[in-house]
């Protein structure tokens, strides 16, 4: 093996050192990288790639690449598999502040979520490559929901074993029912015409399709309720679980340097973009690794509440 893998500080995720993407990556090395991804959920590649082509080559080791279904997010012209996340599209970005610091406006903030949890086919993974870094902030954070599940008390694991939860696509962070920072205020809502997504129901405990390990399948941003439970009981349980999963002990926070690449397994992690000051510049390229697995089902209108 021409590269090394070490645990990230805190024990959540793996860092890959010494991988040279100008060389051929052998089948054996590709399998080692894929297995490490399945085993750890989050992989950090520093000083590994410096081009779009490097990012595409590395991403393809982990599966087929997809274009993001939210088509109005910007894609890079030559490569439809690259989604461009940039601050220059400032008019498209929502602007936020926190109640106690109204003068500190920031953009690029997304609270804890997993991608496409509001559909029945969430993507397996995604990779970000930082190109331009804001002077301040701009970190991305991940949570390992397998570690979060395994840390639950056995009584709680038993209680939630067969529960189902409903997700609805939430276009404004201020509409989120769970995981919302109570201090968060929106100064301006970004211009985005999101498509409609029907509500879906997912198992609260899901088995990872590759490893078979149990996942606490709780993504706060689009979370609505536990199916078949009173609202009072459902809210209390989901609040308790949200507080548990977002506990910092299952979390890795990445402070970006140019050309860092971070890959995550979207089936077993949550992520959050911590935001950066309005007016600062940020440019990130993202690839999306397809999911070929069905999760849950579209909610039937007649399903009892």
Residue located via tokens 């990130």 = 284
What tokens were used for 215? 């996942």
Residue located via tokens 């090394």 = 4
- The neighbour count for residue 149, using CB atoms within 10 Å, is 25
Q: Are 229 and 204 in contact (CB under 8 A)?
A: no
Stretch of 10-18, 27-35, 90-98, 111-119 contacting Fe ion, by CB under 5 A: 111-119
Report the residue number, 48 or 219, with the smaller CB distance to Fe ion.
Answer: 219
Stretch of 108-116, 139-147, 276-284, 289-297 contacting Fe ion, by CB under 5 A: 108-116
Nearest-angstrom CA–CA distance, 26 and 31: 9
Report the residue number, 115 or 164, with the smaller CB distance to Fe ion.
Answer: 115
Pairing state between β 42-45 and 14-17: parallel
Nearest-angstrom CA–CA distance, 300 and 201: 9
Residue located via tokens 């500190």 = 104
- Phi/psi zone of residue 197: left (φ > 0), alpha (ψ -120 to 50 degrees), beta? beta
Stretch of 52-60, 85-93, 109-117, 214-222 contacting Fe ion, by CB under 5 A: 109-117
Report the residue number, 5 or 110, with the smaller CB distance to Fe ion.
Answer: 110
Minimum CB distance to Fe ion, residue 242 (Å): 17
Please report whether residue 265 would count as binding Fe ion according to CB under 5 A: no
Please report whether residue 66 would count as binding Fe ion according to CB under 5 A: no
What is the torsional sign of CA 110, 113, 119, 124? positive
Please report whether residue 115 would count as binding Fe ion according to CB under 5 A: yes
Stretch of 87-95, 107-115, 152-160, 252-260 contacting Fe ion, by CB under 5 A: 107-115
Minimum CB distance to Fe ion, residue 31 (Å): 27
Report the residue number, 163 or 221, with the smaller CB distance to Fe ion.
Answer: 221
Report the residue number, 111 or 137, with the smaller CB distance to Fe ion.
Answer: 111
Minimum CB distance to Fe ion, residue 26 (Å): 32
Minimum CB distance to Fe ion, residue 83 (Å): 10
| Alpha helices, H only, the chain | 27-40, 52-60, 145-150, 154-160, 231-245
Minimum CB distance to Fe ion, residue 151 (Å): 23
Stretch of 110-118, 147-155, 169-177, 224-232 contacting Fe ion, by CB under 5 A: 110-118
Q: Which residue(s) pair with 286 in the sheet?
A: 83, 128
Residues that bind Fe ion (CB under 5 A): 115
């Amino acid at each position: 093996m021409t590269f090394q893998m070490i645990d990230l500080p805190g024990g959540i995720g793996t860092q890959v050192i010494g991988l040279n993407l100008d060389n051929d990556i052998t089948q054996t090395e590709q399998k080692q990288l894929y297995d490490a991804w399945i085993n750890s959920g989050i992989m950090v590649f520093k000083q590994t790639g410096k081009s779009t082509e490097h990012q595409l080559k590395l991403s393809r080791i982990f599966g087929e690449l997809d274009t993001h279904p939210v088509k109005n997010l910007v894609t890079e012209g030559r490569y439809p598999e690259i989604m461009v996340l940039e601050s220059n599209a400032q008019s498209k970005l929502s602007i936020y502040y926190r109640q106690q610091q109204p003068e500190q406006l920031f953009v690029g903030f997304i609270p804890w979520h997993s991608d496409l949890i509001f559909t029945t086919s969430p993507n397996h993974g995604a990779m970000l490559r930082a190109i331009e870094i804001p002077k301040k902030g701009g970190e991305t954070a991940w949570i390992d929901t397998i570690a979060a599940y395994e840390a639950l008390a056995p009584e709680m694991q038993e209680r939630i074993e067969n529960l189902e939860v409903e997700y609805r696509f939430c276009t404004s962070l201020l509409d989120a029912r769970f995981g919302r920072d109570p201090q968060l205020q929106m100064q301006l809502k970004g211009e985005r015409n999101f498509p409609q997504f029907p509500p879906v129901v997912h198992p609260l405990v899901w088995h990872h399709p590759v490893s078979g390990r149990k996942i606490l399948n709780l993504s706060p941003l689009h979370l609505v309720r536990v199916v078949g439970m009173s609202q009072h009981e459902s809210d209390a349980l989901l609040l308790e679980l949200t507080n548990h999963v977002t506990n910092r002990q299952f979390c890795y926070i990445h402070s970006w340097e140019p050309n860092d690449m971070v890959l995550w397994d979207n089936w077993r992690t949550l992520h959050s973009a911590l935001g950066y000051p309005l007016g600062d510049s940020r440019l990130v390229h993202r690839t999306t690794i397809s999911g070929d697995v069905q999760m849950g089902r579209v909610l039937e209108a007649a399903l009892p509440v």
